[in-house]
Copies of this chain bind each other. A is one copy, B any other.
Amino acid sequence: MPSVFTWTVRVYYEDTDAGGIVYYANYLKFFERVRTEWLRALGIHQQDLLERDGVAFVVRSAVIEYVSAARLDDELKLTLSVKKLGRASIQFAQQAWRGDTLLSSADVKVGCIDKASMRPRSLPDMVAAKMQAA
């Protein structure tokens, strides 16, 4: 597991808007795909966490810069690195690139909750262990 995790997404019609570019909210979709794939690469499956443990991840905050626009058919390289691993939350630095052009960067803070109560809880031990090992 490298310290920077990368994932590629393609821009489809569904991602664009009438301005001819990727709609701004959709970068948050892309950024979540990467977080999910990073979890998957660590052997952490959110559907299992949700169904078996009643544990979910929720985004607490996001700071996003939109630097350059992406268009239909573009192939984007998404990067993720962990800035801080807390007891009940994780801070990510994420970026979207098209070749050497930075399109967007985001700092995203994700918290762990008990799904039934929606209250914060510490990361399950196995999850924390896998993240620390990475």
**Chain A: residues with CB nearer than 8 A to chain B?**
10, 12-14, 16-21, 23-26, 28-29, 32-33, 36, 40, 45-48, 50, 56, 58-66, 69, 71-74, 115, 118
User: Which residue in chain B gives the minimum CB-CB distance to A36?
Assistant: B12
Cβ-defined contact, B13 with A19, below 8 A? yes
Instruction: Find A56's partner among B19, B36, B60 (CB 8 Å cutoff).
Output: B19
Instruction: Find A17's partner among B14, B40, B65, B118 (CB 8 Å cutoff).
Output: B14
Q: Which chain B positions have C-beta within 8 A of A16?
A: 17-18
Instruction: Find A12's partner among B29, B45, B61 (CB 8 Å cutoff).
Output: B29
Nearest CB on B from A93, distance (A): 15
